[in-house]
Amino acid sequence: MARANDEVAALFAEYADLISITGGDAFKARVYEKAARAIGGHHADVSTLDVKGLQQIPGVGRSIAEKVTVYLRTGSVPAVEELRARIPAGVRRLTAVPTLGPKKALVLYEELGVSSIEELTDAIHQERLRDLKGFGPRTEENILHGIELLRSSGDRVLIDAATDVAEGIVAELSRVEGCRKCAYAGSLRRGRETIGDIDVLAAASDSEPLMRAFTELPDVTEVIARGRTKTSVRTTKGLSVDLRVVPPDSWGAALQYFTGSKSHNIRTRERAVHQGLKLSEYGLFDAESGERVVSRTEEEVYARLGLPWIAPALREDRGEIEAGLRDELPELVQERDIRGDLHTHTDLTDGLAPLEEMAAAAAERGYAYYAITDHAPNLFMQRMTDERILAQRERVRELDGEYGRRGRRGGMRLLHGAELNIDAEGAVDWPDDFLAGFDLCVASVHSHFNQDRAALTRRLVRACENPYVHIIGHPTTRLIGRRPGIDADLDEVFAACARTGTALEVNAHPDRLDLNDEHILRAKRHGVKFAIDTDAHSVLHLAHMRFGVGTAQRGWLTGDDVINTWSLTRLRRFLRKTPSS
C-alpha cells in the first residue's frame, strides 16, 4: 500500500534538513530536497529499479541512486544515520513545529537548552527568546501558532496518504470470499483534508473470513482489538483502521451511519424520532413495533426520512438538511466535469518532467485544454528569463497544433501561461505589454508571509485588480500542518475577486487544499468563480485533481462555479479581462 518512493522521498527530505541543521553545504541540501521531490513524484516504483534505472530520474545522480538501493536493501543509509547521531534528539523534536526552521531550533537548543515542545512553550511565555538574535515578539507569535498547528494535527495524516491506505485495504478485502460489498466511510469518505483514523465497512453473512484477512494484511503491525463485528488494527504508517462487518441487508443504513459526521447523524436521527422511527447502523425501524422499514441503500434511508440522498461531502450539518427539504441541494461538481488543468509546472522551473511529458499525461486524462504555468522571474531561484519563457511559448504553440488535431472535437488545446509572484506591494512580474502575450496568468504569494493584515489584504486586492491576473493561486499560502495561512481579510479579497472577475484557486495538492472548504463557502456567497488546479510539478501530481474536486464539493461548488469545467470558448471569454473590469 505504501510506495517505496514515498519512504525514500521522506528519508532524503529529512537528510536535507539534517544537512541544514548541522551547517552543511546549502547546495548539497538543495540537491537532496530536489531528489526527494523527484523520487516522490516518479511514476515507477523505485524498488524495481537498479542504479542505472534510478539515474534516469531527474535530479538523481549515481551517489543518490546508490543510497536509494542501500536503503531499500538494509532499511537505513549510513550518511543519514551519521547526521542523526550528531544532532540532539531535542533539536529534531523542535523541527516538527511548523514555522520553526532547523537553524532556529538549533539556536534554541544551544542557547536556552530547549529540547521539547513544552520547554519551548514555557520559554516563549517567559519571553526568554527575545534576547536571541533573530527572535522577537512576532517570531514568538509565529512559533506559538506553529505549536497549535502541531498539537491540533496530532496523529492525523493528509488525505492522500489515508486514501492510499484505505483503497489498498478495500481492494484486498473485496477479494475475500463471502464479501458482498466493501468501502471506506468516515471522514475520509466525506473528503476531510486530514484523517485521524480510517473506517472500513464490509457486508457479509459471515464476518470471520474478513476479520482474519484484515488482521493478516502485510501492512498491519498491531491488532488493537478483534471481535465479530469490529476489528481495529494499526498499520506501518501508524494509522489506526477499524473494520466493521454488517449483514448485507443492513449495508445502506451502516454506510450512512459510519460516514457521519456526528452532527449530521444527530439531525437525521432527530428526523427519524419525529416520524416515530429509530435509526441505527442496522436500519430504520418502527419505534413501536421494532419492525425494520428500510436499510439496504442510503437512498432508501434518506427517502424514508423525507430527504433526497445527500452527498457525503455535504454531511457536516452546514445547512444540507434544510437544503434537502427545500429540494435545493447543489448538483456538485464532479471530477468527470473537469475539462482542463490551469496551473501546472515543467522542468523549466521547479517541475520534474519536461513540457512534452506533462502535455502527454494531460491528454491521457482526456482534457479539452491544458495550461503550462511555470514560475516567473521574481522567484529568483527558478532562474526564469524572458528568453526562456518565450522559447517555451513557441514550443507550446507547436504542441498545441499537434494536440489540437487529435481526436474528436479538436482534441486538446494547450494554453501558455505563467505563475506570477505577488510581491510585497501587490505588483507582479513583467510589464503589461509582456503579460498580454500569455493565454492566462496565475498570481500567487510566495514570500513576505508575515506582513500585517492590512498589507497582506492590499497585496491580494491589488493583484486581483491587475487586468492580466486571471487566477489567484493557493490564496492563503498554507501548507497543512506545516505553515499557517496568511492573515488577510479574506472577505475583502473575495469581494475584490467578484468585482474584477478574478477566479480563486482551489489548489488540489494534498499539502495545500487551498482554499479550504469553509473559505470556499464564504467566497461563493460573494459571487466568486473558482479554478480547481493541481499545481502539478510532476506527471503523478495531475491525479491530485480528485482531492481538489472533493474540497470543492465540501464547499458546495457546482460545475458552473468552476471555470475549468467550462468549454474553451466560455473560458476564453472569462480570460478576456480588461482594465475596466
DSSP secondary structure letters along 36-99: HHHHHT-SS-GGG--HHHHTTSTT--HHHHHHHHHHHHHS--HHHHHHHHHS-HHHHHHTTSTT
Q: Is the pLDDT of residue 339 over 50?
A: yes
Domain membership flag for residue 127: yes
Domain membership flag for residue 434: yes
Domain membership flag for residue 51: yes
pLDDT at site 151? 67
**Which CATH number characterizes residue 192's domain?**
3.30.460.10
Q: What is the grid cell recorded at 575?
A: 480570460
Q: Residue 304, exposed/middle/buried by CB under 10 A (0-12, 13-18, 19+)?
A: middle
**Contact (Cβ atoms closer than 8 angstroms) between residue 483 and residue 450:** no
In this structure, the answer to whether residues 303 and 424 fall within a common structural domain is no
Domain membership flag for residue 104: yes
Q: Please give the residue that has the higher pLDDT: either 113 or 424.
A: 424
Q: What is the mean pLDDT of residues 532-537?
A: 96
In this structure, the answer to whether residues 360 and 507 fall within a common structural domain is yes
pLDDT at site 579? 40
pLDDT band at 11 (very low <50, low <70, confident <90, very high): confident
Report CA torsion sign: 233, 235, 239, 245: negative
In this structure, the answer to whether residues 75 and 121 fall within a common structural domain is yes
Q: Please give the residue that has the higher pLDDT: either 14 or 293.
A: 293
Which residues, other chains included, contact 164 with Cβ-Cβ below 8 Å and sequence gap of 6+?
1, 2, 3
**Which CATH number characterizes residue 110's domain?**
1.10.150.110
pLDDT band at 145 (very low <50, low <70, confident <90, very high): confident
503-507 and 530-533 as β-strands: parallel, antiparallel, unpaired?
parallel
Domain boundary among 271, 304, 325: 325
pLDDT at site 331? 98
pLDDT at site 172? 96
Amino acid at 216: E
In this structure, the answer to whether residues 293 and 182 fall within a common structural domain is no
Domain membership flag for residue 511: yes
Q: Is the pLDDT of residue 132 over 90?
A: no
Question: 163-178: string of b/e by CB count within 10 Å (b at 16+)?
Answer: bbbbebbbebbeebee
Number of domains in the chain: 4
Q: Phi-psi category of 99—alpha, beta or left, where left has phi over 0 and alpha has psi -120 to 50?
A: left
pLDDT at site 45? 85
pLDDT at site 2? 53
In this structure, the answer to whether residues 414 and 531 fall within a common structural domain is yes
Which residues, other chains included, contact 534 with Cβ-Cβ below 8 Å and sequence gap of 6+?
341, 343, 344, 507, 508, 509, 541, 542, 543, 544, 545, 548
In this structure, the answer to whether residues 292 and 367 fall within a common structural domain is no
**Which CATH number characterizes residue 510's domain?**
3.20.20.140
In this structure, the answer to whether residues 130 and 161 fall within a common structural domain is no
| Cα 263 to Cα 173: distance, rounded to the nearest angstrom | 30
Q: Is the pLDDT of residue 410 over 70?
A: no
The beta-strand segments (E) located in 196-318 are: 197-203, 220-226, 230-235, 240-246, 277-280, 283-286, 292-294
pLDDT at site 581? 38
Mean pLDDT of the residues in the chain: 90
* Rg of the chain in Å (alpha carbons): 26
In this structure, the answer to whether residues 270 and 167 fall within a common structural domain is no
Q: Is the pLDDT of residue 382 over 80?
A: no
| Cα 182 to Cα 317: distance, rounded to the nearest angstrom | 26
Report CA torsion sign: 502, 378, 371, 510: negative
pLDDT at site 345? 96
pLDDT at site 580? 37
pLDDT at site 82? 87
Q: Is the pLDDT of residue 182 over 50?
A: yes
| Cα 349 to Cα 140: distance, rounded to the nearest angstrom | 34
Domain membership flag for residue 580: no
pLDDT band at 409 (very low <50, low <70, confident <90, very high): low
pLDDT band at 31 (very low <50, low <70, confident <90, very high): confident
In this structure, the answer to whether residues 299 and 229 fall within a common structural domain is no
pLDDT at site 1? 45
Question: 350-382: string of b/e by CB count within 10 Å (b at 16+)?
Answer: ebbbebebbbebbbeeebbbbbbbbbbbbbeeb
pLDDT at site 154? 60
pLDDT at site 155? 67
Query: Quick one: what percent of the chain has pLDDT higher than 90?
Result: 66
Q: Is the pLDDT of residue 406 over 70?
A: no
What secondary structure letter does DSSP report for 178?
A: T
Domain membership flag for residue 255: no
pLDDT band at 468 (very low <50, low <70, confident <90, very high): very high
Q: What is the mean pLDDT of residues 558-575?
A: 97
pLDDT at site 577? 77
End-to-end CA distance of the chain: 50
**Contact (Cβ atoms closer than 8 angstroms) between residue 479 and residue 511:** yes
Domain boundary among 153, 180, 198: 153
In this structure, the answer to whether residues 405 and 498 fall within a common structural domain is yes
Q: Is the pLDDT of residue 92 over 80?
A: no
In this structure, the answer to whether residues 137 and 162 fall within a common structural domain is no
**Which CATH number characterizes residue 317's domain?**
3.30.210.10
- pLDDT tens by residue, 148-167: 777 665 668 899 999 999 99
Query: Whole domain around residue 288: which residue ranges?
Result: 262-325
Domain boundary among 287, 305, 325: 325
Q: Phi-psi category of 176—alpha, beta or left, where left has phi over 0 and alpha has psi -120 to 50?
A: beta
Q: Is the pLDDT of residue 557 over 60?
A: yes
Domain membership flag for residue 253: no
Q: Is the pLDDT of residue 212 over 70?
A: yes
- pLDDT tens by residue, 253-266: 999 999 999 999 99
In this structure, the answer to whether residues 567 and 439 fall within a common structural domain is yes
- pLDDT tens by residue, 36-80: 888 887 777 888 888 888 988 888 889 999 999 999 888 888 988
